[in-house]
């Protein structure tokens, strides 16, 4: 298990720099034995040194790339695959471990493509406002959200508009329709805040 200060969603990936000894050990173990690992958001505490409190719902992920550096650190890429719920935390040494159950989504319904299209528009609006505020470089391409509503919902939440607590709420939503509605609502809140800030400039 790899506790982080951010949420990893299924269908998305995150680059990480691994320097703490227990996560160096985790990376080496995954490379030698099984590339699957769990990623959970830290609720309270620090990513470094242990003693943190973690959310129960996270993501089963796969170690997609790993580059060893001369000083013992690793540069890795972790790809999210499926949601998972921690049933029980196990020993923390040599690295955090847990028993988990995998969580599946209910199949998307007919109305979800329209919800997906509305979310795409909101993401574009939010990023345009971030460009105006100097928080998103205009030369950086806007993310292309997948046609699949489930994956598009994850990607929209992962763009960088929502904070970790809101991302966790999205990850914990079991129903696809409710999740897409939540993503849309959270994006609306951020668009309103970004609009107010842009109007003060």
pLDDT in tens, 80-97: 999 999 999 998 889 999
25: its two tokens: 């050990």
Could you tell me if 75 and 47 are in contact, meaning their C-beta atoms sit under 8 angstroms apart? no
Residue 91: alpha-carbon gap to chain centroid:
25
Alpha-carbon gap, residue 30 to 26, rounded angstroms: 6
**Residues 123-160: pLDDT tens digits?**
999 999 999 999 888 776 678 899 999 999 999 999 99
Q: What is the pLDDT of residue 108?
A: 56
30-61 pLDDT, tens digit per residue, is 999 999 999 999 998 765 555 679 999 999 99
Q: Find all residues with CB under 8 Å of 61, minimum gap 6, and list them.
A: 2, 8, 36, 37, 38, 39, 78, 79, 80, 81
Residue showing tokens 């997906």: 116
Whole-model pTM: value is 0.91
């Amino acid at each position: 298990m790899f506790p982080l200060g951010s949420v990893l969603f299924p269908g998305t990936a995150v680059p990480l720099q691994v320097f703490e000894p227990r996560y160096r050990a985790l990376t080496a173990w995954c490379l030698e034995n099984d590339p699957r690992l769990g990623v959970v958001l830290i609720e309270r505490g620090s990513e470094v040194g242990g003693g943190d409190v973690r959310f129960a719902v996270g993501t089963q992920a796969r170690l997609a790339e790993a580059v060893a550096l001369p000083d013992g650190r690793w540069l890795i890429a972790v790809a999210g695959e499926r949601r998972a719920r921690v049933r029980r935390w196990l020993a923390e040494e040599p690295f955090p471990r847990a028993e988990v159950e995998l969580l599946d989504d209910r199949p998307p319904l007919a109305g979800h493509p329209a919800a997906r299209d509305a979310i795409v528009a909101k993401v574009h609006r939010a990023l345009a406002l971030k460009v105006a505020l100097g928080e998103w470089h205009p030369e950086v391409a806007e993310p292309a959200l997948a046609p699949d509503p489930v994956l598009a919902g994850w990607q929209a939440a992962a763009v960088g508009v929502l904070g970790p607590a809101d991302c966790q709420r999205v990850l914990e939503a079991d129903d696809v329709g409710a999740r897409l509605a939540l993503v849309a609502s959270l994006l609306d809140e951020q668009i309103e805040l970004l609009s107010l800030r842009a109007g003060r400039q």
